[in-house]
Structure 1
Amino acid sequence: MSGLIVTNPPRADRAVADALGGFGVATVHEAQGRSGLLGSHINPVQRGVRISGNAVTATVAPGDNTMIGVAVEQCGEGDVLVVSPTAPCDMGYFGDLLATSLKARGVRGLIIEAGVRDVADLNEMGFPVWSKAVSAEGTVKGTLGDVNVPISIAGRIVSPGDVIVADDDGVVVVARLRAAEVLAASHAREEKEALARSRYEAGEIALDVNNMRPLLERAGARYVDYADWVKETDS
């Protein structure tokens, strides 16, 4: 039965959520064991934007955006609204009016496995959105879903209070109870990449920076001079 609205769920520490946003999706995804990445069909409707924050979750009925309006009330400063329809639907669930309401409450963005519209207005007002589709087709109201319960979206489970990081590369979710651990791992990964970058800048290549030569040898790779290769192929 739908219609459950959970209030005041626990959230990840705000400072941790903010710090995770500094690393970006790719680093966080790798740092937590290449996990948590939402499906590649969830894309930004803008470019050059990175956000992070605590998830407020909502499910919506196909073609009905009632529960987005309900979820707005449960959103606060630093949150990210995460919405999934209970059955696939690409209609335009969300536009500039709902964005104005969320922005006024300090919400940092929307992640939705459905359609949005008023894209030019969303970009002009600076409200970031990651969506499955863009569609001018509007929705109706009257059918209930749930708010602040675990939801399935783009191949992942997102629970209220989890940390969402989103940028041009997509969206990744970090479980609330692992947020501090993943933050530490992200720091370590960034430091490792900084060392690798300095080696690349000095002229080294990935085969040596990543110690790939033993891997190639074990896999059976062999180097053959072109002249010798021609002889081999002609024989």
Structure 2
Amino acid sequence: MSVCYTDILRPSKTVVAKFEGAEVATVHESQGRKGLLADYMRPIYKPAKIAGPAVTCEVAPGDNWMIHVAVEQCQPGDILVVKPTSASCDGFFGDLLATSLKARGVLGLIIEGGVRDTAALTAMNFPVWSKTIFSQGCVKETIANVNVPVTCANAYICPGDMIVADEDGVVVVKREEAEGVWDKVEKRMANEESKRIRFENGELGLDIYNMRERLADKGLVYAKYEGK
């Protein structure tokens, strides 16, 4: 039996708004270097940056039927996350499905599979992070699940979790942890900004991060070069 769950829980709009514009690397570091999707998940065009709750969708290999089911469950500000039940690089998604999602206010797509019509997707400003680009078409024969936990590109994602995606990749933040993670993101951004000012003023990372003593403890020796 397959199931499509409706009325999923999402983070509050206030929490979602805080993550808008956040950088994937900063979020990843702030929550203890977890939640990062695999390195092959790349945006089909740049610049691209989105943040919002996940609607999750399973698809059978070479079959995009359940994406049509998932579209109905999407609300404005959502991000659709698609995971094939077995590895598949077929072109599950193109400009027509993007048009349908965009009409519902969906911000973008994360898919561990293939997409096509990338020129049209770029022109319509619909961001997609995918495993690959491949024109192979799909059928509509096999059902799967919508709004269930999925493992997408090595990351465990539940419906309603926060997705943050930019040119550096994709990271997931657990819905119930999102507010606490944001507090850490804010602190990290403030800390990085203070360091940025010091770097601009000519200070070295060796001194800002108090590295010299540790380097010496590891055995690093400075010596004058006397070669020709």
TMscore range, shorter length: over 0.9
Deviations 1:159-205 (A, max 9, x none): 00000000000000000000001111000000000000000000011
Q: Is 1:50 equivalent to 2:54 in the alignment? A: no
Aligned counterpart, 1:189: 188
Aligned counterpart, 1:146: 145
Normalised to the residue count of structure 1, the TM-score between the two structures is 0.95
The letter of the residue matching 1:93 is: F
Q: Is 1:102 equivalent to 2:118 in the alignment? A: no
Normalised to the residue count of structure 2, the TM-score between the two structures is 0.98
Extract unaligned runs of 5+ from structure 2: none
Question: What displacement does 1:33 show?
Answer: 0.8
Aligned counterpart, 1:28: 27
| Rg comparison, structure with higher value | 1
Q: Is 1:178 equivalent to 2:183 in the alignment? A: no
CA distance in 2, matches of 1:215, 1:140: 59
The letter of the residue matching 1:15 is: T
Aligned counterpart, 1:233: none
Question: What displacement does 1:23 show?
Answer: 1.8
Question: What displacement does 1:214 show?
Answer: 2.2
Question: What displacement does 1:224 show?
Answer: 1.3
The answer on whether the counterparts of 1:25 and 1:171 sit within 8 Å (CA) in structure 2 is: yes
Aligned counterpart, 2:219: 220
The letter of the residue matching 2:134 is: S
Deviations 1:199-229 (A, max 9, x none): 00000111111221122122111111112xx
Could you list the runs of 4 or more consecutive aligned residues of structure 1 that deviate by over 2 angstroms after TM superposition? none
Question: What displacement does 1:112 show?
Answer: 0.1
Extract unaligned runs of 5+ from structure 1: 231-235
Deviations 1:95-141 (A, max 9, x none): 00000000000000000000000000000001000000001111000
The answer on whether the counterparts of 1:14 and 1:78 sit within 8 Å (CA) in structure 2 is: no
CA distance in 2, matches of 1:124, 1:163: 26
Q: Is 1:15 equivalent to 2:37 in the alignment? A: no
Provide the aligned C-alpha RMSD in A: 1.2
Aligned counterpart, 1:124: 123
Question: What displacement does 1:64 show?
Answer: 0.3
Question: What displacement does 1:15 show?
Answer: 2.1
